[in-house]
Structure 1
């Protein structure tokens, strides 16, 4: 283990801080507080823009050099050729079959592109980008040891945000609207349209200053559970929890912000285009409203069943879950595409069966958007 692996965030010293038993989604993530004693109040304060979240378990990769945007544009799903200094984007690195390998939040300061990724992914992403740069003028580095991320639902004054080129390195989540070149499978009013979310990069050696701001009551603090509850309520996918080794972007409605359907070739692009225009994603993400009468919350990977011919059959897995201050117990889940949207579901939590009402995010009929004319059958006029 490296020095960062064993570190606990300075936020752990704040009153009431409760840490997870192990570090997040991966064994090499930094420990950050789950909550500070009152998760519901923390959700409300965070949602109102009066609190921040320690997100220093996230990884950060930097790309310096004149060809950094050319490299990112060629390798990933988003059109990044002309991203303006200070602008934010989201992009995916796909394998040749179109499956998600890395999901990155991108912000460029005019000299450096900064990529924020989920815990444990910075080192492998940096290694991949470094291998693929060939003769391009790009220097790639895993910066997770010297910079960290602070998250909030509003831009906060007074944070010591990293700004080496005079432009604060702050990623603004584009989830509130369909990005240029993107596509939304979700129908009707989207809860993500109300989402505001900012991830600010700060020097790790200045995290103590942020903790001091909290102790002096200049800003409130919320735990990672509060951030997750707001994310799930907004139907916002996250690689660490909602994706697996088989995930293609369509299944999580990730075409909304992370894929530009009209850009040129990149690895996995053929699958993206084929499924979107002619096929159907094999699985689909749904929101689950859970029965809270048993006071149990399903963990990541909990099995979901649906009844067919009098028999409970496995149809998917819970990917993320939380107790929301307004909606109650909720979850995101990935289920088989063919499961009808009106079928009641059940979630297995140990020996308990929790009833779940599904709310379609990606509907069963998602995909096949191309208007392909039907050819007349031979012998017919």
Structure 2
């Protein structure tokens, strides 16, 4: 569950479950909060699962298991996937090299299964895998003023500049690690990681000290990420082929073998994927799973949709056939077909560009 339930409640929060973890849904007036993040900066507590990987063989072991190259330099990270033998995504993750250990951030429901799977496959390697989800708090800082916000409260170090790099410093009297993330909201973004015991002080500093920041919940996170064209694990990524998602930021096609690599490489080298992830503007808000038609032909399904606070319109991400006609598109809403048009991603241009936005060769 959230590390700071009482604090969030004092801000008027309501809650929901994401991946089995209790998180903030909204603090009320999510459309206003969304615009505040787009215009200035906001703070959200994220419910990551966290693994700590130690031992002499930690880098080689994780590198051999995942789809991207694990960095060997302290202060560097990568976004990576664990694929099944058919090339579909079992989980996505961020892997950070923190010197004598790797920190692995996963969707909350995937931390325990991933730790069990990796422990069963260590054989003779010097690797130890610990689930440390409850030991950490992670706060996302997003918005065009995110860099200014971090600089106004971070001491003993500078603001990290390279994507997925981090610096260690202090917020107030709490030790923190500040990661320059991959702009999934379509805005400048950082993750601030601290010990669970320091979470209350760090959250207060982020919201109230230096440049003020609005607290926001997962409902605003979902509208921000959809406007940015960012696929999320639960709605687009889990079980999909990374090529179909255009998820090139998670793949290193030149690295050594990992499970599912053959399938991914075959698609890359021998032709286009079967499907692709696209943006749609829709005349009415569909539900996830709603059918997409081109004329009378069923050509795909909506993965998720929102009423965009920035555009005052219904927008959606959908998985559709690769050879999709660009005219005569409809989506089924409440048993009827409503008009839809393809939209370039991102829907909204912000201060950052999501690294997960679909990109096809």
Q: Measure the CA separation in 2 of the matches of 1:100 and 1:222.
A: 29
- Cross-structure match for 2:180: 172
The 8 Å contact of residues 41 and 213 in structure 2, kept in 1 or not, is answered as yes
- Cross-structure match for 2:37: 46
Q: Any idea what the Cα deviations from partners look like across 1:229-287, whole Å, max 9, x if unmatched? A: 22122222221111243x111111111x1001111211111111110110331221001
- Cross-structure match for 2:228: 234
293, 314, 318: which one aligns with 1:329: 314
Q: Any idea what the Cα deviations from partners look like across 1:93-113, whole Å, max 9, x if unmatched? A: 111111111110122211221
The 8 Å contact of residues 52 and 132 in structure 2, kept in 1 or not, is answered as yes
The 8 Å contact of residues 304 and 314 in structure 1, kept in 2 or not, is answered as yes
Shift of 1:92: 0.6
Q: Measure the CA separation in 1 of the matches of 2:3 and 2:189.
A: 26
Cα separation, partners in 2 of 1:18 and 1:68, compared to 1, 3 Å: same
The 8 Å contact of residues 51 and 222 in structure 1, kept in 2 or not, is answered as yes
Which one is further off, 313-322 or 92-101? 313-322
Q: Please list every run of at least 4 consecutive aligned residues from structure 1 whose deviation after the TM superposition is greater than 6 angstroms.
A: 159-162
The 8 Å contact of residues 214 and 221 in structure 1, kept in 2 or not, is answered as no
252, 276, 286: which one aligns with 2:245: 252
Name whichever structure is richer in strand by fraction.
Answer: 2
TM-score normalised according to structure 1 size:
0.75
The 8 Å contact of residues 3 and 196 in structure 2, kept in 1 or not, is answered as no
Structure 1, gaps ≥5 residues long: 177-191, 370-381
The 8 Å contact of residues 103 and 117 in structure 1, kept in 2 or not, is answered as yes
- Cross-structure match for 1:36: 27
Shift of 1:195: 4.1
CA RMSD of aligned residues (A): 3.2
Cα separation, partners in 2 of 1:71 and 1:175, compared to 1, 3 Å: farther
Cα separation, partners in 2 of 1:354 and 1:147, compared to 1, 3 Å: farther
64, 73, 77: which one aligns with 1:74: 64
Is structure 2 residue 300 aligned with structure 1 residue 304? no
Cα separation, partners in 2 of 1:171 and 1:315, compared to 1, 3 Å: farther
Larger radius of gyration: 1
Q: Any idea what the Cα deviations from partners look like across 1:171-228, whole Å, max 9, x if unmatched? A: 433468xxxxxxxxxxxxxxx9x64332232222333224434775643211222222
State the secondary structure of the residue aligned to 2:133.
coil
Is structure 2 residue 258 aligned with structure 1 residue 266? yes
Is structure 2 residue 357 aligned with structure 1 residue 357? no
State the secondary structure of the residue aligned to 1:208.
helix
- Cross-structure match for 1:186: none
212, 220, 228: which one aligns with 2:204: 212
Cα separation, partners in 2 of 1:131 and 1:152, compared to 1, 3 Å: same
The 8 Å contact of residues 18 and 35 in structure 1, kept in 2 or not, is answered as yes
Q: Measure the CA separation in 2 of the matches of 1:195 and 1:212.
A: 22
Structure 2, gaps ≥5 residues long: 156-165, 346-358
Q: Measure the CA separation in 2 of the matches of 1:215 and 1:268.
A: 42
